[in-house]
Structure 1
Amino acid sequence: MKLTNLRTLFFLTIFIMSTTISKAAANAQITYNVSFPEAQAHYADIEMHITSLQQNTLELKMPVWTPGSYLVREFAKNIESLTAEANGKPIAAPKINKNTWQIVTKGISSVTVKYRVYAFELSVRTSFIDASHGFLSTTGIFIYPANMLHSPAVIHIKPYKNWDKVSTSLDMVNNDPFTRLSPSFDILFDSPIEVGNQDVFGFDASGVHYEICMYGGGNYDKEKLKADIRKIVDQEAAVFGENPNKHYVFIVHNRQRNGGGLEHLSSTVLGASRDNYTNDKGYQSFLGLVAHEHFHLWNVKRLRPIVLGPFDYDNENYTTNLWIAEGFTEYYQGIIVRRTQLFPVQNYFDVLEGEFNVLENLPGKNVQTVAESSFDAWIKAYRPNENSNNTTISYYNKGAIIGMMLDLEIINDSKGKYSLDDAMKYMYTQYYKIKKRGYTDAEFKAAFEKFAGKKLDDFYARYINGLTPIDYNKYLGYAGYKVEDELADKNDAALGITTTTTAAKKIIVTSVQRGTAAYIDGINVNDEITAIDGTLVTDAATLINGKNPGDKIEVTVTRDGQAMTLPVTLLKSNRVKYNIVTVDSPTEQQMVVRKKWLSI
Structure 2
Amino acid sequence: MWKKKSNLCIILMLISSMAVSAQVKIDFEVSFTEPQAHYAEVQMNIAGIVNNYVDVKMPVWTPGSYLVREFEKSVEEFSASAGGQNLKFEKVSKNTWRIFSSKADKIKIKYRVYAFEISVRTAFIDESHAFLSPTGIFMHPDGMINVPSTVKIIPYKTWAKVSTGLTPVEGKKFTYHAPNFDWLYDSPIEVGNQDTFEFMASGVRHEVAMYGGGNYDKEKLKIDMAKVVEQATAVYGENPNKYYLFIVHNFKRGGGGLEHLNSTTLGASRDAYADENGYKGFLSLVAHEYSHLWNVKRLRPIALGPFDYDNENYTTNLWIAEGFTSYYENKFLYRAGIYDLNEYLSEITSSLGTVVNSIGAKYQSAASSSFDAWIIGYRPNENSKNNSISYYSKGNVIGILMDLEIANATKGTKSLDDVMRAMYLQCKTLKRGYTDAEFKAMVEKISGKDFTKFWAKYVTGVDELEYAKYLGYAGINMSAENSTPNKPVTGATLQIGNRLVVTGTDRNSAAWIGGLNVNDEILALDGVTINIALATMKLKSSSFSLDAIPLVAEKNIGDELKVKIDRDGIEKDLILLLKANPNVRLKSAVNENATSAQKAVLKRWTGK
TM-score, normalising length: structure 2: 0.95
Gaps of 5+ in 1: none
Summarize the alignment of residues 6-155 of structure 1 with structure 2, pairs less than 5 Å apart: 16-17=12-13, 19-155=15-151
Q: Could you say what secondary structure the match of 2:89 adopts?
A: coil
1:152-551 alignment, distance < 5 Å: 152-432=148-428, 434-487=429-482, 490-502=485-497, 504=498, 506-537=499-530, 538=534, 539=537, 540=546, 541-542=548-549, 543-551=551-559
Distance 2:59 2:223 in 1: 38
CA distance in 1, matches of 2:10, 2:114: 39
CA distance in 1: counterparts of 2:39 and 2:122, whole angstroms: 13
Report if aligned partners of 1:150, 1:186 keep a CA contact under 8 Å in 2: yes
Q: Deviations over 1:13-62 (max 9, x none)?
A: 66655543432222111110100101000000000001122333311000
One-letter amino acid matched to 1:455? D
CA shift, 1:8, in A, is 7.5
Conserved in 1, the CA contact under 8 Å of 2:26 and 2:45?
yes
Partner secondary structure for residue 428 of structure 1: helix
C-alpha change, 1:175 and 1:590, in structure 2 (3 Å) is farther
Report how far residue 330 of structure 1 moved. Answer: 0.5
Q: Would the aligned equivalents of 1:24 and 1:54 in 2 still touch at CA under 8 Å?
A: no
Amino acid at match of 2:450: K
Deviations 1:73-104 (A, max 9, x none): 11100001100000110001211010001123
Deviation at 1:576, TM superposition (A): 1.4
2:239 partner SS? coil
Structure 1 window deviating more from structure 2 (540-549 vs 199-208): it is: 540-549
Q: In terms of mean alpha carbon deviation, does 188-197 or 448-457 score higher?
A: 448-457
Give the letter for the 1:477 counterpart: G
Residues 288, 337 of structure 1: 8 Å contact kept:
yes
Q: Deviations over 1:203-230 (max 9, x none)?
A: 1111110000100000000000000000
Deviations 1:279-332 (A, max 9, x none): 111111111100000000100100101111010001111110101111100000
Moved more, 215-224 or 97-106: 97-106
Instruction: Find the partner of 2:570 among 547, 551, 562.
Output: 562
Quick one: distance in 2 between partners of 1:328 and 1:134? 32
Secondary structure of residue in 2 paired with 1:500:
strand
- Residue 494 of structure 2 aligns to a residue whose secondary structure is strand
CA displacement 1:446-501 (0-9 Å, x = unmatched):
11111211111110111111111010001100111132224268121010011121
Find the counterpart in structure 1 of residue 543 from structure 2. none
Question: Partner amino acid for 1:482?
Answer: N
Instruction: Write the letter of the residue equivalent to 1:515.
Output: N
Partners of 1:293 and 1:24 lie apart in 2 by 37
Q: Are the aligned partners of 2:482 and 2:582 in contact in 1 as well (CA < 8 Å)?
A: no
Counterpart residue number, 2:540:
none
TM-superposition CA deviations, 1:551-588 (whole Å, max 9, x none): 01211112112221101111111111212123462111
Q: How far apart in 2 are the matches of 1:546 and 1:134?
A: 53
Report the Cα distance in structure 2 between the residues aligned to 1:380 and 1:569, rounded to whole angstroms.
31
- Conserved 8 A contact 1:21-1:55: no
Write the letter of the residue equivalent to 2:559. Answer: D
**Is residue 26–residue 148 contact of structure 1 (8 Å, CA) maintained in 2?**
no
SS of 1:577's partner is: strand
Give the direction of change, closer, same or farther, for the CA distance of 1:421–1:545 in structure 2 (3 Å limit).
Answer: same
Q: Distance in 2 between matches of 1:405 and 1:367?
A: 20
Q: Partners of 1:98 and 1:104 in 2: how far apart?
A: 18
2:541 — aligned with what? Answer: none
SS at match of 2:552: coil
**In 2, Cα distance between the equivalents of 1:497 and 1:440?**
41
Q: Which amino acid aligns with 1:574?
A: P
Partners of 1:351 and 1:248 in 2: CA distance? 28
Question: Secondary structure of 1:40's partner?
Answer: helix
Inter-CA distance 328–205: structure 2 relative to 1 (3 Å threshold): same
1:589 equivalent among 581, 591, 597: 597
Quote how far apart the aligned CAs of 1:596 are.
2.4
CA contact (8 A) 1:42 1:129 kept: yes
* Cα distance change, pair 294–177 in 1 and its aligned pair in 2 (3 A): farther
Q: Is 1:575 equivalent to 2:583 in the alignment?
A: yes
- Secondary structure of the corresponding residue to residue 451 of structure 1: helix
Contact kept in structure 1, 2:216 and 2:273, CA below 8 Å: yes
Contact 1:552 1:568 in 2 (8 A): yes
Deviations along 1:333-391, one digit per CA (max 9) or x if unpaired, are 01110101122112112222221222122211111000000001010100000000000
Does the 8 Å contact 2:356/2:465 carry over to 1? no
Distance 2:491 2:97 in 1: 51
Assess if the C-alpha contact under 8 Å between 2:295 and 2:325 holds in 1: yes
Write out per-residue CA displacement over residues 127-163 of structure 1, whole angstroms, 9 at most, x where no aligned residue: 0000000000000000111121111111111111211
C-alpha RMSD of matched pairs (Å): 1.6
Counterpart in 1 of 2:560? 552
Task: Give the secondary-structure state (helix, strand or coil) at the position aligned to 2:386.
Answer: helix
CA distance in 1, matches of 2:45, 2:253: 40
- Residue 542 of structure 2 is matched in structure 1 by none
